[in-house]
Each structure stands twice: as structure tokens, then as C-alpha cells.
């Protein structure tokens, strides 16, 4: 499953290396498989928050990459 992300785009990095100071696109695994969240997220000391609202989100991402606007 994870390898599908790497095949599509080599810019995905392991979540352990995610920075705290920028907007990120997160990849998660759920009952539907592997997919990227549709909104930018930011790493915080105790997890993740949704950019724009500041709301904490309950996710356990596996990979991340820089967020680019999805217009």
C-alpha cells in the first residue's frame, strides 16, 4: 500500500521527519487504503492540526510532503 505513494510521487517522506513550521500534505492508511488528506495540516507538539481552523485532528499519518494549493 505505502509503495503506491512512492510510485506516484517521489516527494513523500516518512512522517517522523515532518517539520513543525510549515503546511503539509499528509498520507494516511484507513479502511479504504492509502490516501492523502484533502486539506493542509501542521505538526504540533502532541499531534496534528488542520491549517485554517487550528482544530486538532485525530490522524496517524505515515508520510508527508509540502502542501501545494489545490485550486
As a whole number of angstroms, the distance between CA 67 and CA 57 comes to: 17
pLDDT for residue 5: 53
Mean pLDDT to the nearest integer, 1-19: 73
Output the pTM of the full model: 0.81
Query: pLDDT tens across 16-67, in order?
Result: 999 999 999 999 988 889 899 999 999 999 999 999 999 999 999 999 999 9
Compute the radius of gyration of the chain from its Cα atoms. Answer: 12
What's the pLDDT band for 69 if we cut at 50, 70, 90? confident
Q: Where are the domains of the chain?
A: 2-66
Amino acid at each position: 500500500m505505502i509503495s503506491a505513494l512512492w510510485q506516484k510521487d517521489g516527494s513523500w517522506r516518512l512522517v517522523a521527519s515532518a517539520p513543525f513550521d510549515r503546511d503539509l500534505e499528509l498520507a494516511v492508511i484507513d479502511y479504504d487504503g492509502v490516501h492523502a488528506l484533502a486539506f493542509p495540516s501542521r505538526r504540533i507538539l502532541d499531534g496534528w492540526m488542520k491549517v485554517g481552523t487550528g482544530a486538532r485532528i485525530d490522524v496517524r499519518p505515515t508520510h508527508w510532503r509540502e502542501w501545494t494549493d489545490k485550486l
